[in-house]
Structure 1
Amino acid sequence: MENLPLLPGNRFSDVTRTNFIVPRTLSFKNGHRIIRVPRFGIGQTYKPDICLTEDERQLLDNFQPELIYGKVRVQEPRKFVPATLFYDKKILRFYGYFKQIIHESPLESYRIRQVIIYYYLEDDTIAIYEIPYKNSALNQGMRIRRHRISKNDQNEPYNWRDLNLRQNLIIYGTIYRICDCDQFTREWLESEGIELQCSESIPSDPYMLKLMEKNQNKFKDILIEKKVMDKKMDGKILRFYAMFNNQDHFRKFIIHVYLIDNTIEIREIHRNNNGYDPLPIYLHRQLVPKDSTYNIKSFVNLFLDQREQNKISYIKANDFILGQHITIFNHIFFLYDCDKFTRDFCQLDINRLPSISPHSEDKTKNIVRKSKENEQRVLRYEAILESSNEDDRCRRFLIVYRLADDFISVYEKPIDGYGCLTRKFLERVRIPKPDSHPDAPIYYQPNDFYIGAHVEFYKHRFKIIDADRCVLKFIEENQEQFSQHVIDSFRNHICSTEKQKSN
């Protein structure tokens, strides 16, 4: 029976067997794993003939099922992705409009207001945004905020299957016409089996067409005149020769004024070993505002509000006058000469510049000589700050006026008991009077400073209470430059001071 083939019906199980233990084939010897041939079968039955040949052992040792059947492919279960994550940031965008009826208006009967319809795939919500018109005075922008919108009385929300081109969408009593969509929306709907209709154009607003036609007729003549003026001024440049005092010596420049757009360019005239980098351009071509101290916020508003831009006044060609000073970005240039074309053009067209003296170089030399003579001469005045705060009224200041270039600097004197040193309150600058026009500023002169005088430096009001003897000496030497009231104020002050010292 044991030699019969293993076919059904050829083997009979022993019903008396109760031990079905499978013998082990692995063991350890001296700490190493070894394979041993079991001498007993299942249930500890003795099998003396169980023995493997050397070929069978070698076959078992070299057996690699991956070379025959390949690597086992373990199929991982597909991960579950919720709709809120799978459709996150996937939005269908449709373009359309709705018609607003205008009652009791002779100018218009209806308006076309363009909208963008957003459909969010993650939660089937809809938002409608109206494209705003500039200066329309209408409540535009977000028209319907994002939420689920019912399409019937059964409160069934709109689905992406309900949206298609060339159809009306009724939301809260307003009929929105869907005309077009973006490329992503078109591809996604077609991938889901939705057959999109052909897009249609959004009709124009008749009121806006009338307004545009009116504006075109209004500015047509202005544009033609501007083109003629640009063609006339194209390539015409005014050239002025200028100079300014840089603390210890004068620097010469060439100022170019482009008549086509009133832009200004400044080039420096370099001399050998003058100590400056030989850069060809000192100021690149640009529009220059007359008031260089305007708030930085107004500069930011140039790109936001056209009204702020119109408030700024820029330097033009007729602001350049020979023999006068002109301020460009807080740098005061003295115009002492110009070329022949500038002389002829200004006399004929602008009629603003005076005739140029052939001895303009002599005038420049006089200015240089005056600056060198007064290079080290300064006038010092003591002043107090006029303020409603009692602590500020105790502060003392020193006003220093430079005779070489009419620049003014202010220093704050130390207060007794505080242990602080003299500190600078105002950098050296040429200060215009507060009541002067910004287009033609009038700067402070030595005649404006006397005992009891009130001066205002950039909204800080000072009262002069004292001066040093150098001021009186300069006034006595140049009485023709001062009024009698100024001279008497200093004389009376010195006399009263000497009487107090003698007493």
Structure 2
Amino acid sequence: MAVRNPRLPLLPGYGSNPLIGKKNFGVRPIFTSVDKVNMLVDKAEGVNRVPSLYCRKQAPDLPTWIMYDKNILHFQAYFQQTLHEMRSSAHILRKVDIFFFLEDGTIKVIEPKTENSGLSQGTLISRQRIRLPFSTDLYYDVLDLNIGREITFYGKVFKIVNCDNFTRVFLNRLGINVPDPQPWPDAVERSPDTTRPPKHRPFRQFLDFDRQVLRFYGYWDDRDTEFGTIHHLELHYFLADDTMEIKEVLPPNSGIEAGPMFLKRMRLPRKIPPHIEMTGGPQHASYGPADLSIGAVVNVYGRKVVLTDCDPFTKEFYRVTYGFDTFTPLPIPRDESSECITTSTSERQLPPWNGYGSYDDSAENCRTVEPKAPHRDFIKFLHKDRVGFDSHILRFAARLINDNPDDARRYFIVKYFLCDDTIGIFELGERNSGFKGGKFFRRDKMYLPDVDFFVPKEPPAYTDKDMWVGNELVINKHRFLLIAADEYALRYMELHPNEYPMANIALIMDKIRRTLASQQNGYKNFVAKYMDAVLPNKKELMSVRCFKQALKEIMCEKMTEHEYLTLIRHFRGDIGKEESPRREMIRSLVFTALSRGLWDERARLLEGLRHADGGGSGALPPARLRQLLRAHRLPLAGDLVDCMLDVLEKDENCNIIYEDLMSFLDFQTRPVFNLTEADYQKVVRHAPPVKDTECKLWSEADTLIKEGFVNWEAFLCQLNLEHLVKEQTN
């Protein structure tokens, strides 16, 4: 570089430096050949001072930005920063991470961020090539960075103390020896100075224990004074500055005006001499963490505060710091005066119910002068209200039990609403019976019989646990016998066996198992007696009547009708062999919709189904099948499509067999049902039963159950009492 003459002005033409006045400093393009392909590179070969990892002509001659892409050397270093504004120390130590990018020789320096450090940390030197000190054309390279070396970046001297494993291996492969890691300057062991005590450093304590608070629970017994009571307190000790605060915990509706603080945040002295004023004088020793523990008594300016318990963080702090292992909480003395006041206030007795209106409405009017509507259980309403096809309504068929022979022919529907625990009863009127039918009892909460209604507390009412087939309900002096249930009610109770023991197959099997085990040769005689009752062509099936008779002989009156029904449904052996009325009714609704929409493209639909079934399994997922039906423009409503997919045959993976769908849509086997819109509402949308056709539907379903078959072998296998036969035989 030429030296400029100071006598000449700094203008173009007066100096010998060719860079003066130049505006474009772009990299000179250089062509090279890589694998016989001409490429444009940013610098010529031989600029990098790093020796090659391989011998010549043993590896492809590639540029460094390809060979060392994303290869970074990581060093740990520190530098000292001089402090002119602090007398206590002349400098502070700052730790940094140095990253060297092998692809282009750039360097980046980052200081890890420390919380509440008071320093602007982060990226100290952005990624760039850094020149060597006192040099204009040489830059820092791999050979200049190693453990133990001091490097200078823009006037700051960095001492490298460590590197990662990749950096150590890379330098060793280059033939460079990497020393062992060096300790940080603050980790070097120093001989203690016994001549002077250790200096208290509040800022260091603040950095180490900021936002760490010890919490104790205690009380102050003030019953010795007039109108005194026991004050429940909560003590907070701040480890950052050895201060504490005390708050008083007041029970709700105590009638006591809460103060801001029992003790504001401050250093609490252990003892204050009487002649020293609080605003002046020398400082005295204050309470520290070693003075606080469960059972300790803290003197808060003459008030004795007893500590009884602490939170989990405080227990862990004392376990680690002081080695405490036992934290047994202490009891708090009982204040009988405050308990009497609280008890008399909380146990408020309402006047007896007079029977007018509902109990909730009357009780709400007694609690307040302003008339308000009774509060409902809104959370239960959200979970048990109608959600799509899930109505959360349990429907049961019932008969009226009395001495009148005309009432024996009457048929009732009992509906239990899970959202608010109310019951509604409807009568299905029969033609020329003399009974009109319709609403028999309006929807309301039905109370148990033989209870005293005119009491302050609400009398017990029927719940969903009382709704099962075979139970008797006495409602307004009318006795109803539940004789059947719809499919939704049975299925809902079977899906929630923990709430309904009558539909819990595990409890029912355990009851049968214990009864057979308690009888002498009970299981052996039970199996031998009904061994010949199975079907001759299918040994695993038994008729429902024989199965029910066998269970009644051993269980007697220990099982209810609903439990028999649960067993028959669980071990049913003829599922899918007979067309159910619901399938044919849904099929009739589908054909009605297809006829109205003038749709007859079964061949095209079959072609689309086979094209979608690439594996040839013969089944498709319900979501994919619903998408294909929409693509082929079937004029069916969404709820009707869901009901149709529900009654189609499925494989073991719950995929729908589309051959059954094609037979379902076969116009040559059109169903003979002639359904109306009311039937559509009843079958598809699960509307409440309002006609006696619902009675016929339930009677047909009940007939299918009674005339069906039970898998006898599956029942004995789940009973699992084979060991009793061996023990009784031996």
Does TM, normalized by the shorter one, top 0.5?
no
Structure number with the higher strand fraction is: 1
In the superposition, the TM-score normalised over structure 2's length comes to 0.24
Q: Give the TM-score of the pair, scaled to structure 1.
A: 0.33
Larger Rg, first or second structure (1 or 2): 1
